[in-house]
């Protein structure tokens, strides 16, 4: 090694893992909220405990309530002890907490941002963070405009010499295409697209990341990953929970916007996309956008044929009576908001021609789980026809949560002198094979944003293409508001949803 | 050796192990699932190690499923004898009471029966899964070529060797038998991983990074029995920073590519393992230390261009099971180990003396 300036850390080479991000200051807007306490701070602590955070990194909580640094730290410690996947080590917490401080300001008060800028400059000098800033918008979406505007006005959106300034935006990324464009324009007015990180925490889950590995690292699957061998795909996200404390938001949003526009279309993209040219962020996101552009629009009269929406009524979950959606606190008693959506999506490209993707999401369903089930075509009905034995199709199931893993259903001969064919399942469980200490999605995503890796974040065109698809469905619903089916809590949704799959000669999978 | 072994499971006839294992699972209820990612063979010649190995396997099986084959051998026993036991280590996988289990097959091979080691290993592997072989005994010649060509990962711990020079030479021979296809895993090197990570983390910072070419002194403090580990760390610095070993005025030192001499010292310190690493130059000094048994490192850096900083970095646990688990979980080859070892091999005879 010569005396000249070295660009890469030779001690890092061959160590595995990734380079430590440059030291930076993370500013969380909405620092007293649920997301900060339940997810962000536990994730940051776990990263620090794993030695994955830059040691001189700082965290600044920005919020309206009046409190001291000390009280803020104490609140975060309580939350970390409750929600962290690792037990809190007192010594490590002490060291981590020393990097946390609180900045009180109203979001609309420019002076608060100007004083933040002064404070950050002081911290840069004291801790060597060199003007690197990561702003996390964990506040309510209706505050994004004012926060972004003030970041721009105060100059905080501009990186210092040799540093960087990035922003993480939590979903929802708008409520429809125009609002998403408006939000994206606002973000773009403050931060270039390359420094914008739109979080979809589903993409940070191990199993979601494993979809690409499963597809492209196993010749067995990718060779058959097309319309020639696959009959249809089912993507399900079900939960027994109702709206819980989110009624205020959910009643305005509904399942289509809350889940389909982001999480489920992202999973569909990972399932349907072509092999990217590389593993860099844009190569992968280019392929995902191509899928979104290939989605056959569902418009006008087609909507009632291909999309079923439902709302839960009273019923029972795990043996307990539960109220109807319209009877939940803070829900409009005449609400027409959907808590269930099932839709048939067609991907009009060479690979997927004629292969429907059935997508369903719902609340107050009997069982919680998110999965992608790839149903392969039947074998020719020749060899076993004479025996009268039905041969079940092969199904590859990728379980996103809980019990992350992959299973493959295949047919096997039952032992005995007669020929009886039964389905059997080969099962891979992450928890069984790799233990329990899987990092939380937010750990991965925070570290990625600090490192400037946007692979697992949604790009502007992805978000807007997804809204374009979803908006035409919503437009038809608005034109025909009576088109809402009701289902009992604890059932698998409205009976009409069964018709979708039945038309294709199949049924929804039992989770 | 007769009375040395506590019963490590259900005694079985060696020829009936597969059948008995099958029965073990057939007799279980539906709440138990057998899981396995690899075959882990642990070979020891210390009778008391059987209990601690079983305990370690029980602990790490919940994090990394495998078929464990424990072999206690006494090649010098007067009478030949071979015994076997089977057992399972189960842990709750979820709140529903579902259990995940790893199998353990234990063998005691005495006298002439010790020579049947390869056959014992070959005939009880979970097929199609990688074979990790941890030799807790020292290697000796003649080497069994057939056994070693079957091994995917050879695990050993240079910290336990009486004669590291001879043992490293034998490991090299084993590697050559497999045409380099085998992965070598020195647990002593694995223990250094957190140290290397912490060092790399600090020097990821661009201001700290600029200090690396200016290093003129390396000082490592360690327990007397841990000099191999300290040397391996030194070898890693040499490899990564492009230093070559020189003997100047009968003193060993490293020479950097920019011509700078780098003096090094390995000091004795109380406690277990490495206590501290210091890197210094004319204008900067850096120290990384791990307080005895603490789960974290303290790092301090004084360098131009950045404020003096002190930091605490997670060091992770380092019980034997944790180290083995880290090795199994990380997988992959260890090209840096070979390079680091080559870099300090000339220092081994002089610097590693055993009582």
Verify whether the Cβ–Cβ distance B240 to A10 is below 8 Å: yes
Residues within 8 A of A (CB atoms), B 89-108 only: 93-94, 100
Verify whether the Cβ–Cβ distance A55 to B309 is below 8 Å: yes
What pLDDT was estimated at residue A377? 94
What pLDDT was estimated at residue B288? 94
Instruction: Give the nearest chain B residue to A94 (CA atoms).
Output: B312
When mean pLDDT is compared across A184-198, A366-380, A430-444, the lowest value belongs to A430-444
Nearest Cβ partner of B312 from A14, A91, A432? A91
Nearest Cβ partner of A51 from B210, B307, B313? B313
CA-based end-to-end distance of chain B: 27
Judge: domain A203-439+457-502, CATH 3.30.360.10: yes
What pLDDT was estimated at residue A36? 92
Mutate to test the interface with A, among B238, B312, B327 (most CBs of A within 10 A): B312
On the 0-12 / 13-18 / 19+ scale of CB atoms within 10 A, B219 is middle
* Residues in CB range of A381: below 8 A, 6 or more apart: A391
Whether A271 and A397 have beta carbons less than 8 Å apart is answered as no
Number of Cβ atoms within 10 Å of the Cβ of A238: 20
Instruction: Give the nearest chain B residue to A98 (CA atoms).
Output: B311
Whose structure tokens read 């590291």?
Answer: B164
| C-alpha span between B322 and A254 (Å, rounded) | 46
Could you tell me which residues are beta bridge partners of residue B252? B247
| C-alpha span between A356 and A342 (Å, rounded) | 12
Among A260-274, A378-392, B221-235, top mean pLDDT goes to A260-274
- Nearest-CA distance from A156 to chain B in Å? 22
Write the ipTM: 0.86
What pLDDT was estimated at residue A272? 97
What percent of chain A has pLDDT above 90? 59
Whether B200 and A9 have beta carbons less than 8 Å apart is answered as yes
Quick check: B253 contacting A, CB < 8 Å? no
Whose structure tokens read 């730290």?
Answer: A73
Catalytic residue among A263, A306, A375, A504: A263
| C-alpha span between A292 and A260 (Å, rounded) | 12
Average pLDDT, chain A: 89
Nearest Cβ partner of B307 from A16, A51, A128? A128
A452 chain-B contacts, CB cut-off 8 A: none
Question: What is the DSSP track for A106-170?
Answer: -TT-HHHHHHHHHHHHHHHHHHT-TT-EEEEE-S-GGGHHHHHHHHHHTTTTS--TT--EEEEEE
What pLDDT was estimated at residue B219? 95
Please name which of A397, A427, A400, A424 lies closest in space to residue B33, comparing C-alpha atoms: A427
Superfamily name and number for A25-170: NAD(P)-binding Rossmann-like Domain (3.40.50.720)
A12 chain-B contacts, CB cut-off 8 A: 200, 203-204
In chain A, list all ranges with CATH 3.40.50.720. Answer: 25-170
Q: Rounded to 5 degrees, what are φ and ψ at B11?
A: -65, 140
- Nearest-CA distance from A499 to chain B in Å? 34
Burial B167-185 (b: 16+ CB within 10 A, else e): bbebbeebbebbeeebbbb
Verify whether the Cβ–Cβ distance B295 to A54 is below 8 Å: no
Mutate to test the interface with A, among B38, B288, B314, B331 (most CBs of A within 10 A): B314
What pLDDT was estimated at residue A462? 94
CA B219 to chain centre: 24
What pLDDT was estimated at residue B2? 42
* Residues in CB range of A244: below 8 A, 6 or more apart: none
Burial A408-443 (b: 16+ CB within 10 A, else e): bbebeeeeeeeeeeeeeeebbbbbbbbbeebbbbbb
CA separation, residue A446 to residues A199, A354, B195 (Å): 9, 39, 24
Mutate to test the interface with B, among A45, A51, A86, A434 (most CBs of B within 10 A): A51
Length of chain B: 355
What pLDDT was estimated at residue B353? 59
Q: Are strands A230-239 and A356-363 parallel, antiparallel or unpaired?
A: parallel
| Residues A92-133 pLDDT 10s | 898 889 889 999 999 999 999 999 999 998 888 777 777 899
A95 chain-B contacts, CB cut-off 8 A: 296, 311-312
Verify whether the Cβ–Cβ distance B63 to A56 is below 8 Å: no
Instruction: Give the nearest chain A residue to B291 (CA atoms).
Output: A91
Cα dihedral sign, A394-A398-A401-A402? positive
B307 chain-A contacts, CB cut-off 8 A: 125-128
Burial B99-133 (b: 16+ CB within 10 A, else e): bbbbbbbbbbbbbebbebbeebbeebbbeeebbbb
Length of chain A: 511
Verify whether the Cβ–Cβ distance A11 to B65 is below 8 Å: no
On the 0-12 / 13-18 / 19+ scale of CB atoms within 10 A, A334 is exposed
Q: Are strands A320-322 and A307-317 parallel, antiparallel or unpaired?
A: antiparallel
Nearest Cβ partner of B203 from A9, A14, A433? A9
Annotation marks residue A108 as catalytic: no
More confident residue, A361 or A201: A361
What percent of chain A has pLDDT above 70? 97
Question: What is the DSSP track for A208-243?
Answer: HHHHHHHHHS-HHHHTT-STTTEEEEEEEEEES---
3-state secondary structure chain B: CCCCCCCCCEEECHHHHHHHHHHHHHHCCCCEEECCCCEEEEEECCCCHHHHHHHHHHHHCCCCCCEEEEEEEECCCCCCEEEEEEEEEEEECCCCCCEEEEEEEEEEEEHHHHHHHHHHHHCCCCCCCCEEEEECCCCCCCCCHHHHHHCCEEEECHHHCCCHHHHHHHHHHHHHHCCCCCEEEEHHHHHCHHHHHHHHHHHHCHHHHCCHHHCCEEEEEECHHHHHHHHHHHHHHHHHHCCEEEEECCEEEEECCCCCEEEEEEEECCCCCEEEEEEECCCCEEEEECCCCCCEEEEEEECCCCCCEEEEEECCCCCHHHHHHHHHHHCCCCHHHHHHHHHHHHHHHHHCCCC
Q: Is the peptide bond preceding residue A172 cis, with omega within 30 degrees of 0?
A: yes
Whether B161 and B167 have beta carbons less than 8 Å apart is answered as yes
A426 chain-B contacts, CB cut-off 8 A: none
Nearest Cβ partner of A435 from B63, B307, B311? B63
Verify whether the Cβ–Cβ distance B241 to A22 is below 8 Å: no
In chain A, list all ranges with CATH 3.30.360.10. Answer: 203-439+457-502
Please name which of B12, B158, B298 lies closest in space to residue A91, comparing C-alpha atoms: B298
Whether B216 and B259 have beta carbons less than 8 Å apart is answered as no
B207 chain-A contacts, CB cut-off 8 A: 128
Whether A399 and A207 have beta carbons less than 8 Å apart is answered as yes
B330 chain-A contacts, CB cut-off 8 A: 16
| C-alpha span between B119 and B144 (Å, rounded) | 11
| Residues A450-464 pLDDT 10s | 999 988 899 999 999
Quick check: B343 contacting A, CB < 8 Å? no
Instruction: Give the nearest chain B residue to A438 (CA atoms).
Output: B63
Verify whether the Cβ–Cβ distance A10 to B205 is below 8 Å: no
Number of Cβ atoms within 10 Å of the Cβ of A354: 12
| C-alpha span between B58 and B88 (Å, rounded) | 9
Whether A166 and A134 have beta carbons less than 8 Å apart is answered as yes
Verify whether the Cβ–Cβ distance B257 to A125 is below 8 Å: no
Domain ranges of chain B: 10-137, 190-351
Segment A17-38 shows an average pLDDT of 86
- Nearest-CA distance from A438 to chain B in Å? 10
Verify whether the Cβ–Cβ distance B258 to A10 is below 8 Å: no
Verify whether the Cβ–Cβ distance B207 to A128 is below 8 Å: yes
What pLDDT was estimated at residue B4? 47
A23 chain-B contacts, CB cut-off 8 A: 205
- 3 state SS of A77: helix
| C-alpha span between A507 and A358 (Å, rounded) | 10
Residues within 8 A of A (CB atoms), B 206-245 only: 206-207, 209-210, 212-214, 240-242
Number of Cβ atoms within 10 Å of the Cβ of B251: 10
| Residues A421-476 pLDDT 10s | 888 888 887 776 776 556 788 999 999 999 999 888 999 999 999 999 999 999 99
Instruction: Give the nearest chain A residue to B258 (CA atoms).
Output: A2
Q: Is the peptide bond preceding residue A402 cis, with omega within 30 degrees of 0?
A: yes
Residues within 8 A of A (CB atoms), B 276-305 only: 294-296, 299
Verify whether the Cβ–Cβ distance B205 to A403 is below 8 Å: no
- 3 state SS of A436: coil
Q: Rounded to 5 degrees, what are φ and ψ at A170?
A: -85, 150
Helix spans in A256-363 (H): 265-272, 281-294, 301-306
Instruction: Give the nearest chain A residue to B195 (CA atoms).
Output: A51
Whose structure tokens read 């083995």?
Answer: B324
Number of Cβ atoms within 10 Å of the Cβ of A13: 12
Residues within 8 A of A (CB atoms), B 29-58 only: 33, 35, 37
pLDDT at position A245 over 80: no
| C-alpha span between A35 and A138 (Å, rounded) | 7
Instruction: Give the nearest chain B residue to A14 (CA atoms).
Output: B336
| Residues A45-93 pLDDT 10s | 998 888 788 777 899 999 999 999 999 999 999 999 999 988 888 888 9
Cα dihedral sign, A121-A124-A127-A132? positive
* Residues in CB range of B167: below 8 A, 6 or more apart: B138, B139, B156, B158, B161
Model confidence at A386, pLDDT cuts 50, 70, 90, reads confident
B212 chain-A contacts, CB cut-off 8 A: 1, 6, 9-11
Whose structure tokens read 């010790």?
Answer: B114
What class has domain B190-351?
alpha beta
Whether A100 and A61 have beta carbons less than 8 Å apart is answered as yes
Verify whether the Cβ–Cβ distance B335 to A20 is below 8 Å: no
Mutate to test the interface with B, among A435, A439, A443, A447 (most CBs of B within 10 A): A435
Please name which of B294, B300, B261 lies closest in space to residue B277, comparing C-alpha atoms: B300
Verify whether the Cβ–Cβ distance A55 to B240 is below 8 Å: no
* Residues in CB range of B72: below 8 A, 6 or more apart: B5, B44, B45, B46, B47, B49, B50, B106, B107, B108, B109
CB pairs under 8 A between A and B: 138
Whose structure tokens read 């099932």?
Answer: A342
Verify whether the Cβ–Cβ distance A11 to B205 is below 8 Å: no
Residue numbers of chain B with a pLDDT score lower than 50? 1-4, 354-355
Question: What is the DSSP track for A460-478?
Answer: HHHHHHHHHHHHHHHHHHH
């Amino acid at each position: 090694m010569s005396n000249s300036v070295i660009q890469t850390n030779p001690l890092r080479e061959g160590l595995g893992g990734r380079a430590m991000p440059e030291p930076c200051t993370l500013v969380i807007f909405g620092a007293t909220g649920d997301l900060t306490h339940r997810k962000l701070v536990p994730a940051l602590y776990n990263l620090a405990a794993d030695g994955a955070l830059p040691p001189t990194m700082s965290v600044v909580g920005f919020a309206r309530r009046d409190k001291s640094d000390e009280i803020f730290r104490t609140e975060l410690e309580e939350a970390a002890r409750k929600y962290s996947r690792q037990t809190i080590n007192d010594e490590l917490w002490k060291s981590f907490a020393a990097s946390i401080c609180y900045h009180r300001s109203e979001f609309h008060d420019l002076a608060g941002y100007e004083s933040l800028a002064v404070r950050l400059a002081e911290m840069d000098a004291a801790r060597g963070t060199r003007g690197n800033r990561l702003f996390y918008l964990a506040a309510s979406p209706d505050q994004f405009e004012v926060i972004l505007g003030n970041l721009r006005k105060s100059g905080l959106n501009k990186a210092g010499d040799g540093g960087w300034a990035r922003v993480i935006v939590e979903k929802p990324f708008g409520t429809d295409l125009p609002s998403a464009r408006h939000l994206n324009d606002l973000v773009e007015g403050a931060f270039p697209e390359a420094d914008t990180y739109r979080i979809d925490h589903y993409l940070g889950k191990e199993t979601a990341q494993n979809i690409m590995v499963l597809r492209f690292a196993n010749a067995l699957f990718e060779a058959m990953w097309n319309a020639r061998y696959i009959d249809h795909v089912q993507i399900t996200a079900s939960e027994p929970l109702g709206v819980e404390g989110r009624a205020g938001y959910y009643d305005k949003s509904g399942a289509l916007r809350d889940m389909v526009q982001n999480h489920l279309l992202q999973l569909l993209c990972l399932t349907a996309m072509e092999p990217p040219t590389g593993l860099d962020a844009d190569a992968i996101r280019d392929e995902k956008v191509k899928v979104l552009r290939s989605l056959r629009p569902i418009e006008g009269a087609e909507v009632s044929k291909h999309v079923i929406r439902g709302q839960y009524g009273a019923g029972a979950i795990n043996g307990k009576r539960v109220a109807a959606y319209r009877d939940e606190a803070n829900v409009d008693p005449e609400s027409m908001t959907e808590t269930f959506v099932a839709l048939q999506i067609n991907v009009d490209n060479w690979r997927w021609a004629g292969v429907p993707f059935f997508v369903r999401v719902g609340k107050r369903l009997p069982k919680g789980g998110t999965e992608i089930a790839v149903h392969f075509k039947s074998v020719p009905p020749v060899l076993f026809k004479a025996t009268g034995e039905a041969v079940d199709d092969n199904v590859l199931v990728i379980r996103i949560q809980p019990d992350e893993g992959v299973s493959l259903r295949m047919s096997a001969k039952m032992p005995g002198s007669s020929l009886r064919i039964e389905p059997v399942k080969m099962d891979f469980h992450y928890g069984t094979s790799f233990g329990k200490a899987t990092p939380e999605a937010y750990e991965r995503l925070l570290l990625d944003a600090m490192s400037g890796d946007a692979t697992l974040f949604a790009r502007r065109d992805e978000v807007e293409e997804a809204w374009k698809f979803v908006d035409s469905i919503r437009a038809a619903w608005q034109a025909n508001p009576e088109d809402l089916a009701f289902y009992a809590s604890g059932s698998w949704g409205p009976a009409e949803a069964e018709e979708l799959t039945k038309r294709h000669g199949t049924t929804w999978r039992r989770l | 050796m007769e009375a040395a072994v506590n019963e490590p499971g259900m005694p079985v006839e060696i020829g009936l192990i597969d059948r008995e294992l099958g029965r073990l699972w057939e007799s279980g209820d539906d709440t138990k699932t057998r899981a396995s990612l690899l075959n882990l063979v642990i070979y020891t010649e210390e009778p008391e190690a059987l209990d601690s190995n079983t305990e370690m396997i029980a602990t790490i099986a919940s994090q990394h499923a495998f078929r464990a084959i424990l072999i206690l051998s006494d090649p010098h026993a007067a009478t030949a004898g071979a015994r076997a036991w089977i057992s399972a280590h189960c842990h709750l996988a979820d709140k529903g009471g579902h259990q995940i289990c790893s199998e353990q097959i234990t063998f005691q091979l005495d006298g002439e029966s010790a020579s049947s080691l390869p056959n014992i290993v070959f005939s009880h592997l979970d097929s199609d899964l990688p074979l990790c072989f941890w030799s807790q005994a020292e290697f000796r010649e003649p080497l069994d070529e057939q056994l070693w060509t079957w091994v995917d990962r050879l695990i050993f711990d240079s910290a336990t060797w009486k004669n590291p020079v001879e043992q490293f030479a034998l490991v090299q021979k084993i590697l050559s038998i497999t045409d380099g296809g085998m992965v070598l895993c020195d647990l002593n090197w694995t223990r250094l991983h957190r140290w290397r990570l912490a060092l790399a983390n600090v020097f990821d910072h661009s201001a700290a990074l600029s200090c690396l070419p200016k290093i003129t002194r390396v000082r490592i403090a360690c327990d007397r029995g841990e000099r191999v580990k300290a040397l391996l760390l030194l070898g890693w610095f040499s490899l990564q920073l492009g230093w070559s070993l020189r003997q100047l005025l009968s003193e060993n030192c490293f020479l950097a590519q920019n011509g700078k001499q780098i003096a090094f010292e390995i000091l004795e310190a109380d406690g277990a393992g490495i206590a501290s690493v210091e890197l210094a130059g004319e204008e900067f000094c850096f120290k990384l230390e791990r307080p005895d048994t603490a789960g974290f490192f303290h790092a301090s850096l004084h360098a131009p261009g950045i404020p003096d900083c002190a930091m605490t970095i997670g060091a992770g646990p380092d019980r034997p099971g944790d180290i083995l688990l880290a090795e199994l979980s990380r997988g992959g080859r260890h090209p840096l180990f070979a390079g680091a070892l080559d870099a300090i091999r000339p220092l081994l005879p002089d610097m590693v003396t055993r009582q």
